[in-house]
A and B are shown apart, each in its own frame.
Chain A
Amino acid sequence: MSHIGRPLCAHCGAPSTTRFCCTGCEGAHALVQGLGLDAFYRRREGAEGQLKPLDPPRADFASLASAGKGGAQTLELMVAGLTCGACIWLVEQALAAEPDVLHARANLSTRRLTVTWKGEAARGNELAALIARLGFRVAPFSPACLRASEDAEGRELTRALGIASFGAMNVMLVSVAVWAGSDMGPDTRHLMHWLAALIGLPTIAYAGMPLFRSAWRGLRAGRVNMDCAVSLGILATTLMSLSETIRNGDFTWFDSATALLALMLAGRVLDRAARRRARQSAAELLALQEGAVTVLGEAHHGPLAVPLERVAVGACILVASGERLRLDAVLEEDAALLDISATTGESLPRSFIRGEALVAGGVNMGAPFVARVTAAAADGSLAAMGRMLEQAEQARGRFTSLADRAARIYVPVAHVVALCTFLGWWLLAGLPWQAALVPAVATLIITCPCGLAIAVPAVQVVASGALFRRGVLLSSPTGLERLASADHVVLDKTGTLTEGRPRLLPGGWTEADLRLAASLAAASRHPLARALARACPDVSPAAGVVEVPGAGLVAGETRLGSAAFLGLPEDAGMSLYLARPGAAPAAFRFEDSLRADAAAAIQAFRRAGLGVELLSGDAPDVVARIAAEAGITLFTARATPEAKAARIVALTAQGRRVLMVGDGINDAAALAAAHVSAAPAEGTDLAQAASDFVLMGGGLLPLAEAVERARRAQGAARQNIAFALTYNLIAVPVAVAGFATPLIAALVMATSSLAVIGNALRVGR
């Protein structure tokens, strides 16, 4: 092990002073050993600190199980934290050890677990809980996960690639015989031509479809894209080769057409695979956030876990401590405390009284409360925001990528040159039209933007893979290009620049106070209690702790809770008090503090030449303090969601290209309006949906580095395009003059593509 000298938890691998970092890990370790699966610890790689068993999953899995034949039930789960082969082994073996489980199979790429058992559907909850006890987080395999991993178009591309490669290789076999066989008789050559046509024609007809369709879509939209040029080149080559086959000319060009097709498809398959991986990771994050809503039945009995979209207007829902309210509702309780930073940006939780409207997106900071739903999920404020974002997305869809801009200039030029070649040989040099077609099509093949078409995707694949490894997920195809051109960054405060959760501040308490308070706090799910427990993780929970909902915790004579609970004067801000007999109450104050790498990230943005601005919905004094800490001079407080979006639009009107970073529902409009946007992985799903990048691992520094990398990638893409153009400048006169043979065309194509791919690989380093 590489961690000698640094004690690590025996289960999850997180730094810990004792053998286990928490009781959850101790239980998980015992479970793994009890199953006789401790080989897991020797086999796994790199899941440091990720396997900490958390709260049991909240969703009701039993209702999601589907019944098969013979009383078998099947459940599809998304398991987060599957990082290596040992993880899937552990999960599968642990499930298989259950007597009633028939089959369990985990997919490491999609994090999808399919488990089949014989018996009651209710067993699903126990099986999901078993995986959760091992330290993996489970969620229902949501439709979003399914969309991200079920990729019909990707499969079609892979199949087309397989067929194109098969065709290209077999046609090449025949073509090499023709190139090398100078002593070949005309009849044998004719046979060879027909053989090449026999393999080449069906290959092109089938495997070319993805490209042809994309070209057709582009043409119908009135746009000339790269696929258009490639399709035309391939089709012209095929027709000319067919004509040469029929009249038994010297060469056919089926090999060029099929090889070109295979290369194009390979680039596309790789590009898609890279993006799919990012999409899956994003869907995985969202699936963990989702979960059922607890609905109280008639006459407040029997709480029921109901999927969000099935909750009707007028239903009474129970919102647990620390749970996010996901529907618009009115409060049915006397009082409730909600963290509404996601909707307004305020860092302090706000109190609500009975009958007050609660907007979806707030997190319950107090006791569990009951609320009556006022709008179903599809009509609520979150859905309205989602629809607005879709419109903004469409507006952004008009962005033209570098490759398409190049194609728009390049394609007409190449086609005009080819046409002139044909007309020149036919009318001026007096060749028969079939013979004049040969140099014209050779020009098309040589100019066929093979290097050009692969120039940008190759860079994209390499760069997005490198970003992925650093925790920056690229979810939009043109996001990288837009990031490279950003010149101004606008940051949200709560949850973006700061951690978005309370952290204990140093104060007038002693270490003994903290340990005592943390031992009580370990029993509660209240956010402040959790912050206390986090500050002192190695304390074992005290026995006999009773929680007074919304007020505090009691263990014998010792009490921990709000100022009101202990009969102390109220104060602003977030604080907890500890009272015990014979000692003055100790106050613990909390604050939403700056992310550890925030200041470094701001500096990195500045070094990259970006202006930095803070835009927050919070109170001016808090915003000013955080801005000063982070080193930001330009800031705006009390910005409403509309004001945020308006600021972005104003900056855009000034000619700035804004990179917006935000996590809340209140940022979503601004995120969608910005030139390019990013959201932290812990942010709301709306913010992530509106963003081009999702930041995993809770840091801003990777994003600042991503700007640098995106610029390098853009530079490499430009070099590639320039290189492909230069290549053409040399090769085109050869083709126009009629000297190009299929052999020369194949060589030109292969070398220019290899050079371009080699250049792209530099970006990954």
Chain B
Amino acid sequence: MESLIWLIPLALFLGCVGLWAFIWAMRSGQYDDLDGAAARILFDDDLKKGD
């Protein structure tokens, strides 16, 4: 049972990291355009500047 002293805080910590990541993703607008994000990953071309 002593292992609980480590395991429970560890589990909670990892859970909190996940929650933080979710809130961060939402704040930075990553859920704003789910359709676009799905397509964007396929376009690897660099932006070209016309001259």
Known pairs A155-B26, A170-B15; A109 contacts B35 (CB<8 A): yes
Contact B42 A108 (CB under 8 A): no
Contact A97 B38 (CB under 8 A): no
Contact A166 B18 (CB under 8 A): yes
Contact B15 A166 (CB under 8 A): yes
With both beta carbons as reference points, the residue of chain A lying nearest to B22 in the complex is identified as A162
Is A529 an interface residue when CB atoms closer than 8 A count as contact?
Answer: no
Q: How far is the CA of A86 from the CA of B18 in the complex (A)?
A: 32
Q: How far is the CA of A67 from the CA of B36 in the complex (A)?
A: 27
Contacts of A92 in B (CB 8 A): 47
Q: How far is the CA of A175 from the CA of B51 in the complex (A)?
A: 65
Contact A96 B49 (CB under 8 A): yes
Contacts of B19 in A (CB 8 A): 162-163, 166
Residue among B22, B35, B38 with most chain A CB within 10 A? B35
Q: How far is the CA of A162 from the CA of B48 in the complex (A)?
A: 39
The 5 A-B pairs with the shortest beta carbon distances in the complex, nearest first, are: A85-B39, A108-B36, A97-B50, A96-B47, A108-B35
Across the interface, B15 reaches (CB within 8 A) one of A36, A43, A89, A169, namely A169
Consensus secondary structure, chain A interface: helix
Instruction: Name 14 interchain pairs, CB-CB below 8 A, sorted by A.
Output: A39-B45, A85-B36, A85-B38, A89-B43, A92-B47, A93-B47, A96-B49, A107-B33, A107-B36, A108-B36, A162-B19, A162-B22, A166-B22, A195-B8
Contact B33 A98 (CB under 8 A): no
Contact A110 B32 (CB under 8 A): yes
Contact B50 A98 (CB under 8 A): yes
Q: How far is the CA of A39 from the CA of B1 in the complex (A)?
A: 62
Known pairs A99-B50, A166-B19; A110 contacts B33 (CB<8 A): yes
* A616–chain B nearest beta-carbon distance, Å: 41
Contact B12 A170 (CB under 8 A): yes
Contact A109 B32 (CB under 8 A): yes
Contact A158 B31 (CB under 8 A): yes
Known pairs A162-B19, A162-B26; A88 contacts B36 (CB<8 A): yes
Contacts of A43 in B (CB 8 A): 42
Is A564 an interface residue when CB atoms closer than 8 A count as contact?
Answer: no
* B20–chain A nearest beta-carbon distance, Å: 10
Contact A199 B12 (CB under 8 A): yes
Chain A residues with a Cβ under 8 A of chain B: 35-36, 39, 43, 84-86, 88-89, 92-93, 96-99, 106-110, 155, 158-159, 162-163, 166, 169-170, 173, 188, 191, 195, 199
Within 8 A of A (CB), among B1-51: 1, 4, 8, 11-12, 15, 18-19, 22-23, 26, 31-36, 38-40, 42-43, 45, 47-51
* A69–chain B nearest beta-carbon distance, Å: 21
Inter-chain pairs besides A89-B40, A97-B50, 16 sampled, C-beta below 8 Å: A35-B50, A36-B48, A85-B38, A85-B42, A92-B47, A93-B48, A96-B48, A98-B50, A106-B36, A108-B33, A109-B32, A109-B34, A158-B31, A162-B22, A195-B8, A199-B12
Contact A88 B15 (CB under 8 A): no
With both beta carbons as reference points, the residue of chain B lying nearest to A184 in the complex is identified as B1
A-B contact count (CB 8 A): 72
Contact A109 B36 (CB under 8 A): yes
Q: How far is the CA of A603 from the CA of B50 in the complex (A)?
A: 57
* B47–chain A nearest beta-carbon distance, Å: 4
Contact B12 A107 (CB under 8 A): no
With both beta carbons as reference points, the residue of chain B lying nearest to A187 in the complex is identified as B1
Contacts of B31 in A (CB 8 A): 158
With both beta carbons as reference points, the residue of chain B lying nearest to A35 in the complex is identified as B50
Contacts of A93 in B (CB 8 A): 45, 47-48
With both beta carbons as reference points, the residue of chain A lying nearest to B35 in the complex is identified as A108
Q: How far is the CA of A99 from the CA of B38 in the complex (A)?
A: 28
Contacts of A188 in B (CB 8 A): 1, 4
Contacts of A96 in B (CB 8 A): 47-49
Residue among B8, B23, B42 with most chain A CB within 10 A? B8
With both beta carbons as reference points, the residue of chain B lying nearest to A195 in the complex is identified as B8
Contacts of B33 in A (CB 8 A): 107-110
Known pairs A84-B39, A88-B39, A96-B49; A173 contacts B11 (CB<8 A): yes
Contacts of A191 in B (CB 8 A): 4
* B1–chain A nearest beta-carbon distance, Å: 6
* B25–chain A nearest beta-carbon distance, Å: 9
Contacts of A84 in B (CB 8 A): 39
Q: How far is the CA of A39 from the CA of B45 in the complex (A)?
A: 11
Contacts of A99 in B (CB 8 A): 49-51
Q: How far is the CA of A39 from the CA of B42 in the complex (A)?
A: 12
With both beta carbons as reference points, the residue of chain B lying nearest to A154 in the complex is identified as B31
* A333–chain B nearest beta-carbon distance, Å: 45
Contacts of B4 in A (CB 8 A): 188, 191
* B10–chain A nearest beta-carbon distance, Å: 12
Contacts of B22 in A (CB 8 A): 162, 166
Known pairs A109-B32, A110-B32; A159 contacts B23 (CB<8 A): yes
Contacts of B8 in A (CB 8 A): 195
Q: How far is the CA of A86 from the CA of B33 in the complex (A)?
A: 15
Contacts of B18 in A (CB 8 A): 166
Contacts of A162 in B (CB 8 A): 19, 22-23, 26
Contacts of A88 in B (CB 8 A): 36, 39-40
Q: How far is the CA of A98 from the CA of B47 in the complex (A)?
A: 11
Q: How far is the CA of A292 from the CA of B24 in the complex (A)?
A: 39
Contact A158 B36 (CB under 8 A): no
Contact B49 A97 (CB under 8 A): yes
Contacts of A98 in B (CB 8 A): 50
With both beta carbons as reference points, the residue of chain B lying nearest to A169 in the complex is identified as B15
* B29–chain A nearest beta-carbon distance, Å: 9
Contacts of A97 in B (CB 8 A): 47-50
Contacts of B36 in A (CB 8 A): 85, 88, 106-109
Contacts of A170 in B (CB 8 A): 11-12, 15
With both beta carbons as reference points, the residue of chain B lying nearest to A170 in the complex is identified as B15
Q: How far is the CA of A108 from the CA of B39 in the complex (A)?
A: 9
Q: How far is the CA of A222 from the CA of B18 in the complex (A)?
A: 41
With both beta carbons as reference points, the residue of chain B lying nearest to A89 in the complex is identified as B43
Across the interface, A158 reaches (CB within 8 A) one of B26, B45, B51, namely B26
* A696–chain B nearest beta-carbon distance, Å: 17
Contacts of A110 in B (CB 8 A): 32-33
Q: How far is the CA of A93 from the CA of B44 in the complex (A)?
A: 12
